[in-house]
Structure 1
Amino acid sequence: MIKNAVIVGLGLIGGSMAKALKKYTDIDIIGVDINRDSLHKAFEEGVISYGVTHLDFQVDADVVFICTPVGKVIEKTKNILPYLKKGCIVTDVGSTKKVIMEEVQKFLPDEIFFIGGHPMAGTEKAGYDNADADLFVNSNYLLTPFDNVKEDVLDLFINEVIIKIGAKPVIMDYNKHDAIVGIISHVPHILSATLTNFAHDKCSEAFKYAAGGFKDTTRIALSQTEIWKDIICTNKEVILELLKNYREVLSDFICYLENDDIDTIQKFLEDARKYRNTIT
C-alpha cells in the first residue's frame, strides 16, 4: 500500500499531481520546491503536510515523483536516493525518456524501483497556481519501467496512483515512447513556434487580426522555454529525423501548388481531415 509520497517540484504537473493525490487518495505528501510561495500555498490548502526547499533527511516515502524540467530529472533523482528506504518507487513526469532512463540506470540501487512516467496532460500555462486536481482525468499516462521493477510493484503504482487519479496507464519501451511523443508533441511544438516566428517576421501587424485558427495553432508556443529547450535537446535524434521527413512533405506540397495539381491538393486536405477525425 502506498501511504507516503514526496513530490519534487510543485509546478503545473507536480502541483496537479499533489492536488490529485490529495483529492483521490489518502496518500500523505511532502512537497519539495525552491519556490517558497508554492510550498506555502500547497500547505495552506492542505495539499501537502510538509514542505521543504531541499530534501536532506531520511523520508518514509513509498513513492517519489520527480516533477522538474527534463534537464534536471537525473540530478534530482541522484541527489534524493540516499534519503529513500528500500523498495521505494521513484518516477518522473518528463516528456522524454531515453536519456533519463539510460543515465539513471547507471547509478540506481537494486533496492529502488524506477518507473519512467509521462502523463499526456498539461497546458501552456505553468506554476502551482495553474495546477488542477483533475488534470490527469481520462488522459493517457505513459510508463517505461526498468526491467528490475517487479510486477507487483508496477501493479501497486498503477492501482494506487495512476488509476485513482483518473488516468489510463500505458506501458511501453522508452525508445518507442520518444518516437511517439516526437511525432505528436515535440515536432508540433517546434512547428507552432516556427509559425509564430514566421508570421511575426513576415508581418507583425498581422497579429492584430489573428483569429481562432492562428491562435489555436500557435497556442503551445506560449509554453515555458526552459522546459521545451530540455525536451528538444534530449530527443534530438528523433526530432531531427522527423523534421527532415516533414520537410519532404512540405516540399511535395510546394510542387503540387507550383504545378496547379488541384486534385492532389484536395486529396491532401481530405486525408488530413479524415485522419484528424480519428482522434478522440
Structure 2
Amino acid sequence: MIDKDTKFLIVGLGLIGGSYAMGLTRQGYHVSALDTNEDSIQFALDHQYIENGAVFDEKLIQDADVIISALYPLTMIDWISTYQEFFKSGILITDVSGVKQHIVETVQRNLRKDVEFIASHPMAGKEVSGVRNSDDHIFEIANFIITPTPNNSKRAIAFMKDFAAILNFHHITTLTPKQHDEMIGFVSQLTHVIAVSLMNTNDNTHLVEYTGDSFRDLTRIAKINENMWSELFFLNKDNLIREIEDFEKELNHLKQKLADNDEAGLKALFRQSTQRRTLFDKIDKPDQHKSNQ
C-alpha cells in the first residue's frame, strides 16, 4: 500500500510531527515539511529528518501524496480550507489531533470530493515539546487510533494501518470519532485535569524537597501546553465535564468510606483498583502489532 516513492508532507514540526519525520525518513521514505518557525525547519534539515522544508512552499503541497497535519485542531481546519486548492487529486490527509468529532465533521464537509481526510491519533508524547525533542521510539509503546467515518474508503483505512505499522506503534485500533472523543475524555483529558488540579491545590514551593515518586508520577503531565490543551478541552467539553462529574462522585465515595470509618469498604476499593490496574501491566512486546476493528 505504501511504497518508497510515496511523498509525505508534514505540516507542523513539533514533537509529534518531528518524530513522524524522523521515523519515516529512517524507514527510507520521502519526507518534506512546512512550519512557521524557520529554525524548526532548519533543525530538521540539518539532522536529515526531512528532504525539503519551508515556511510555505506551494510546490511541496502540490507534490505530496500524503499530508500529515500536526497542527492544533482549529488551525488545521483553517489550513486545509485555505490550501486545498493545491492538493493533488487522490491525496490522503491525516492528522494527530487529540479530539476528532468536530474536526472530522468540519473537514470532511468542506473538503474537495477528489481528496480524502482520514483522522488518526498517535497516543504518544513527552513532557517536552518541539522538533528538537523528536524521538520515533516513543511510538513503540504507544497506541495508534484510526477514526474513520462512512466517508472514508477501505483504501484509506488500510493505508493508515500500514502507516502505523511502519512507525512501529505497539497497538493499532479503529474507533468512530464519537467513540474516540468519549474515550479520550476519560483516559487522557480527565487525567490532565487531575494532574493540573493536584498541582494547583497547594502552592508550597518547598514540596519538591519532600515529595516521593508517587507525587512525581501522578503530576508528570501537569507540565502542560496551555494553548493546545485549552483548545482540546473546549472542543470535547461535554464529554470532559461528564467525566469530571463521574470522578467527583467516585472521590466522594472514597471520602465517605473514610468519614464512616469503613475499613472493609476502603480496602474493597483498593482491591478493585489494584485488579483493574494490573491489566495495564499485561502488555505485549512493542514489536507485536495488533489491529482491532
Quickly name the TM-score band, shorter chain normalised.
over 0.9
Aligned to 1:144: 147
Q: In the aligned structure 1, how far is the partner of 2:254 from the partner of 2:265?
A: 9
Q: Which runs of 5+ in 2 are unaligned?
A: 284-293
Residue 27 of structure 1, CA deviation: 2.0
Q: After the TM superposition, which segments of 4 or more aligned residues of structure 1 sit over 3 Å from their partners? A: 55-58
**Given residue 262 of structure 2, which amino acid in structure 1 is its aligned partner?**
D
Aligned to 1:39: 41
For residues 42-89 of structure 1, give each alpha carbon's deviation from its aligned partner in whole angstroms, at most 9, with x where no partner exists: 111121111111243452211100001233221122223111111100
Q: In the aligned structure 2, how far is the partner of 1:219 from the partner of 1:256?
A: 28
Among residues 104, 107, 115, which one is paired with 2:107 in the alignment? 104
Q: In the aligned structure 1, how far is the partner of 2:207 from the partner of 2:142?
A: 35
TM value normalised by structure 1: 0.94
Q: In the aligned structure 2, how far is the partner of 1:144 from the partner of 1:216?
A: 30
What's the secondary structure of 2:118's corresponding residue?
Answer: strand
Q: Note the 1:22-171 alignment, pairs <5 A.
A: 22-24=25-27, 26-57=28-59, 58-159=61-162, 161-167=163-169, 168-171=171-174
Aligned to 1:18: 21
Residue 147 of structure 1, CA deviation: 2.1
**Given residue 40 of structure 1, which amino acid in structure 2 is its aligned partner?**
Q
Q: In the aligned structure 1, how far is the partner of 2:178 from the partner of 2:156?
A: 22
**Given residue 30 of structure 2, which amino acid in structure 1 is its aligned partner?**
D
- The count of aligned residue pairs is 276
Q: Which runs of 5+ in 1 are unaligned?
A: none
Q: In the aligned structure 1, how far is the partner of 2:123 from the partner of 2:153?
A: 24
Preserved CA contact (<8 Å) 1:124 1:224 = no
Q: In the aligned structure 1, how far is the partner of 2:48 from the partner of 2:234?
A: 37
Q: Note the 1:173-212 alignment, pairs <5 A.
A: 173-200=176-203, 203-212=204-213
Farther-moved stretch of structure 1 (67-76 vs 174-183): 67-76
Cα 1:66–1:72 change in 2 (3 A) is: same
Aligned to 2:291: none
Q: In the aligned structure 2, how far is the partner of 1:147 from the partner of 1:86?
A: 20
What's the secondary structure of 2:192's corresponding residue?
Answer: helix
Q: In the aligned structure 2, how far is the partner of 1:48 from the partner of 1:146?
A: 31
**Given residue 137 of structure 1, which amino acid in structure 2 is its aligned partner?**
E
Farther-moved stretch of structure 1 (234-243 vs 37-46): 37-46
TM value normalised by structure 2: 0.90
Preserved CA contact (<8 Å) 2:123 2:144 = yes
Q: In the aligned structure 2, how far is the partner of 1:230 from the partner of 1:179?
A: 16
**Given residue 45 of structure 1, which amino acid in structure 2 is its aligned partner?**
H
**Given residue 64 of structure 1, which amino acid in structure 2 is its aligned partner?**
I
Residue 198 of structure 1, CA deviation: 0.4
Identity, % of aligned pairs? 26
1:256 aligns with 2:238: no
1:240 aligns with 2:238: no
Preserved CA contact (<8 Å) 1:63 1:89 = yes
What's the secondary structure of 1:59's corresponding residue?
Answer: helix
Residue 224 of structure 1, CA deviation: 1.5
Q: In the aligned structure 2, how far is the partner of 1:11 from the partner of 1:211?
A: 31
**Given residue 79 of structure 1, which amino acid in structure 2 is its aligned partner?**
T
Residue 99 of structure 1, CA deviation: 1.1
